[in-house]
């Protein structure tokens, strides 16, 4: 059995979209000959957590926790929100601006420096064959790169999202932009292998003429098969569900306005509409929904155990999908999309026309409309509500090609790539 050391800030009991990819690595790589050590954040070092996820961590996974950051980084962490998954969006936005100015590449830089020392000490024991870092935060890659350079251990840089400081945020000055580009280039050119969670990102990396990675592998986020839902369908309500982060998501406003318009045109819909949003959210959205008269129709459930969110997916009559606006986000294929597809329930996505995630939704027979299209969303919700009133709940329809995206299946391709980095490994 070979061993991979994974450096990743997010690991159970921390929660959020970034946790599940790394958790799946540790669950499935041992079946392909790779034991796992994880160096991660402390158990209380993020404002969203899910204690139930700890039960999925294999007993033989070695977990080494590096407690949270210091100074401004720690203050930002504590300011993000409460344990129920609520925060003030207006208060958090200025804090992100401070980070962009004073912490490079991100607010986790202090944690990454201390984690680097822990990783190096663990490698000195001599039984680690490959080092893998997973981002965000991108500072994890910088720490892993330093250790790989010092030790000669093969290093894999896994990008759940592209480099955040360049693709998802605008650097405040040309100097900041140059610094972020230099750090990204250092990771891409020095890693033995770069792994990308979306085909769009993998293709863009492979097509680079400068700072091109040595090798690129596409490993989608995928999904874990789930047991039958414990949440029964509700024949008396048309249940619309979203699961995932709601913070800084512009299309929450799109949904609020569309529902408000629908109810104004058809007041009777209030008796049968049930819209449930699962995940951390900004208090501003809750206040906005209340001001639009959506009490009793739209519910912000906050952070809930992952199994509960997946149960809500399978009980839904319609699943909503969106993500942040902007050209940089076109590389993002959310992990929850694969869970949505596995539920077999109808999907309506607010995504750009030419988009990898939108193509997956269409391939599965779901609907796609433009982000921010309030009137179009209102019409689509009205049409689906009318069909539900006439024909009732649709039957489940799981795409026949989805089996190739189970995380157990995807771990096999990652394990094969890790084998190729170790001299004398099986092929």
Per-residue pLDDT of the chain (427 residues; tens, 9 = 90+): 999 999 999 999 999 888 999 999 999 999 999 999 999 999 998 888 999 999 999 999 999 999 875 444 444 444 454 555 555 555 555 566 677 888 899 999 999 999 999 999 999 999 999 999 999 999 999 999 999 999 999 999 999 999 999 888 889 999 999 999 999 999 999 999 999 999 999 999 999 989 999 999 999 999 999 876 667 778 899 999 999 989 878 999 999 999 999 999 999 999 999 999 999 988 889 999 999 999 999 999 999 999 999 999 999 999 999 998 888 788 899 899 999 999 999 999 999 988 999 999 999 999 999 999 999 999 999 999 999 999 999 999 999 999 999 999 999 999 999 999 998 755 4
CA angle 332, 334, 337 (to 5 degrees): 135
Tell me the two tokens of residue 325: 């606006």
- Residue 78: predicted pLDDT: 45
- The whole-angstrom separation of Cα 310 and Cα 391 is 25
pLDDT of residue 16: 84
CA angle, residues 284, 94, 248, in degrees to nearest 5: 40
C-beta separation of 107 from 76 below 8 A? yes
Q: Within 13 A of 198's CA, how many CA atoms are on the CB side?
A: 21
Cβ neighbours of residue 374 closer than 8 Å, sequence gap 6 or more: 254, 257, 258, 261
Alpha-carbon distances, residue 374 vs 256, 277, 324, 362, 388 (angstroms): 9, 18, 16, 20, 21
Boundaries of every domain in the chain: 2-222+406-419, 238-403
CATH number of 238-403: 3.40.50.2000
CA dihedral 164, 169, 173, 176 (to 10 degrees): -10
Per-residue pLDDT, 73? 43
CA distance 193 to 205: 12
pLDDT score, position 69: 54
What pLDDT score does 325 carry?
Answer: 87
Residue 172, C-beta contacts closer than 8 angstroms, at least 6 positions apart: 97, 100, 101
Kindly report the CATH number that applies to the domain delimited by 2-222+406-419. Answer: 3.40.50.2000
Task: Give dist(CA 299, CA 334) in Å, integer.
Answer: 22
Q: Which two tokens stand for residue 382?
A: 């009205």
Q: d(Cα 38, Cα 119) in Å, to the nearest integer?
A: 9
Tens digits of per-residue pLDDT, 201-217? 999 999 998 999 999 99
Q: Do 2-222+406-419 and 238-403 come out as alike in CATH topology?
A: yes
Q: Residues with Cβ < 8 Å from 38, sequence gap 6 or more?
A: 5, 6, 8, 11, 22, 26, 61, 62, 63, 64
- Give the DSSP letter of residue 46: S
C-alpha separations of 76 from 71, 96, 108, 181 in Å: 9, 8, 10, 24
């Amino acid at each position: 059995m070979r061993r991979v050391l994974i450096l990743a800030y997010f690991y159970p009991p921390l929660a959020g979209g970034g946790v599940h990819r790394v958790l799946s690595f540790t669950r499935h790589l041992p079946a392909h000959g790779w034991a796992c050590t994880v160096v991660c954040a402390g158990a209380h070092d993020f404002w969203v957590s899910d204690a139930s996820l700890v039960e999925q961590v294999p007993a033989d996974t070695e977990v080494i926790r590096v407690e949270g950051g210091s100074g401004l980084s720690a203050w930002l962490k504590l300011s993000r929100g409460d344990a129920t998954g609520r925060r003030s969006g207006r208060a958090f936005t200025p804090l992100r601006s401070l980070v962009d100015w004073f912490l490079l590449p991100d607010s986790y830089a202090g944690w990454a420096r201390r984690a680097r020392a822990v990783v190096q000490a663990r490698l000195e024991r001599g039984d680690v064959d490959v080092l893998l870092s997973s981002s965000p935060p991108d500072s994890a890659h910088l720490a892993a790169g330093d250790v790989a350079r010092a030790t000669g251990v093969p290093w894999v840089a896994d990008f759940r999202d592209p480099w955040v400081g360049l693709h998802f945020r605008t650097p405040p000055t040309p100097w900041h932009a140059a610094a972020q580009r230099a750090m990204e280039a250092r990771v891409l050119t020095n890693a033995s292998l770069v792994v990308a969670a979306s085909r769009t990102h993998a293709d863009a990396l492979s097509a680079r003429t400068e700072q091109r990675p040595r090798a690129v592998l596409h490993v989608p986020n995928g999904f874990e098969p789930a047991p039958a839902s414990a949440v029964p369908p509700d024949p008396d309500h048309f249940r619309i569900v979203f699961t995932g982060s709601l913070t800084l998501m512009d299309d929450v406003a799109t949904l609020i306005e569309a529902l408000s318009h629908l109810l104004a045109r058809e007041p009777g819909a209030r008796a049968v509409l049930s819209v449930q949003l699962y995940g951390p959210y900004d208090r501003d959205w809750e206040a906005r929904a209340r001001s639009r008269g959506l009490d009793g129709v739209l519910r912000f459930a906050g952070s809930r155990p992952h199994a509960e969110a997946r149960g809500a997916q399978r009980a839904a009559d319609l699943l909503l999908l969106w993500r942040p606006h902007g050209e940089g986000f076109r590389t993002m294929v959310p992990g929850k999309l694969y869970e949505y597809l596995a539920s077999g329930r109808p999907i309506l996505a607010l995504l750009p026309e030419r988009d990898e995630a939108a193509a997956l939704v269409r391939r599965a027979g779901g609907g796609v409309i433009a982000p921010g299209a309030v009137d179009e969303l209102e019409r689509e919700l009205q049409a689906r509500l009318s069909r539900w009133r006439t024909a009732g709940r649709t039957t489940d329809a799981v795409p026949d090609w989805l089996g190739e995206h189970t995380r157990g299946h995807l771990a096999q391709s990652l394990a094969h790539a890790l084998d190729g980095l170790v001299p004398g490994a099986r092929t």
